[in-house]
Amino acid sequence: MDVTDFDRVIVQAALKIAPDKYPFYNQRNPGHRMSGTRLAGMVLLWAGFLSGALATVFNKEVEGDKWSTINWVWYAGSLAVGIAGVVCLQATRKSSAGMAGTSIGTDQLARHLDNLVKRVGQLRLEHSKQAPRETVAFIESELRDDFREFADGRNSITREHGLKVFAEVMTLFASGERAINRVWSASADGYVDEAARYIELALEHLTLASKVLRAQQSGAAPE
């Protein structure tokens, strides 16, 4: 489990307690729910297994001719159902692997971070003049896509710069993202001062994340 996966576990737990508090996260992560094909595959696999097991014990065993007591038509049908489940699971596994392999490069990730730094900086300048609902709208319209795209392509950091850089960048990114979620929640509840504090915190973490990633790309040490 990497840094953002751990963060996501914490946030998902919060979603179960107060789902209305985190619609920003709900909109960002629809893909974490189990797909219908995978669910169907699991149901078919277990149904086939249990049905096959029942077929072997349903009739009383005849001493000296054990195999004759098995309903082979029933057993073969159960086997077919189980195989169908395996096929469904393999199909979803290949699909997930294909999606995981289409990650963007770190140049594009750095641009997403730059966009976030720019827009959170804009939010800091305009926040005192905005109504809380305008802050919520700004987060959902201006920040959500860059957060999602960066998180989806994060594995390219490991591929291009190694695990140490990945951990450093993602720790800062996750902290910035978590702060923005706090800004959303505080603004939705009308706590303007709390929102302002977390905007500053988000900007600090995202700026540092951008500097670390850009430094790795240029081969220089981050300032």
Query: Which residue do the tokens 């430094």 mark?
Result: 215
pLDDT at 15: 42
Residue pair 210/203 in contact (Cβ under 8 Å)? The answer is: no
Kindly report the number of other CB atoms within 10 A of residue 58's CB atom.
Answer: 13
- Choose among 113, 94, 88: nearest CA to 38: 88
Q: What is the DSSP string of the chain?
A: --HHHHHHHHHHHHHHH-GGG-HHHHHH-GGGSPPHHHHHHHHHHHHHHHHHHHHHHSSPPPTT-GGGGS-HHHHHHHHHHHHHHHHHHHHHHHHHHHHHT-PPPHHHHHHHHHHHHHHHHHHHHHGGGS-HHHHHHHIIIIIHHHHHHHHHTTHHHHHHH-HHHHHHHHHHHHHHHHHHHHHHHHHHTT-HHHHHHHHHHHHHHHHHHHHHHHHHHHTPPP-
Q: How far apart are CA 130 and CA 14, in angstroms?
A: 27
pLDDT at 86: 86
**pLDDT tens sequence across 57-88:** 776 666 666 667 777 788 888 889 889 888 88
Q: How far apart are CA 141 and CA 110, in angstroms?
A: 20
Residue pair 143/120 in contact (Cβ under 8 Å)? The answer is: yes
Kindly report the number of other CB atoms within 10 A of residue 206's CB atom.
Answer: 30
End-to-end CA distance of the chain: 29
The answer on pLDDT for 16 being more than 70 is no
pLDDT at 48: 83
Query: Which residue do the tokens 């641009």 mark?
Result: 111
**pLDDT tens sequence across 127-163:** 999 999 999 999 999 999 999 999 988 888 988 899 9
pLDDT at 95: 55
Q: How far apart are CA 222 and CA 220, in angstroms?
A: 6
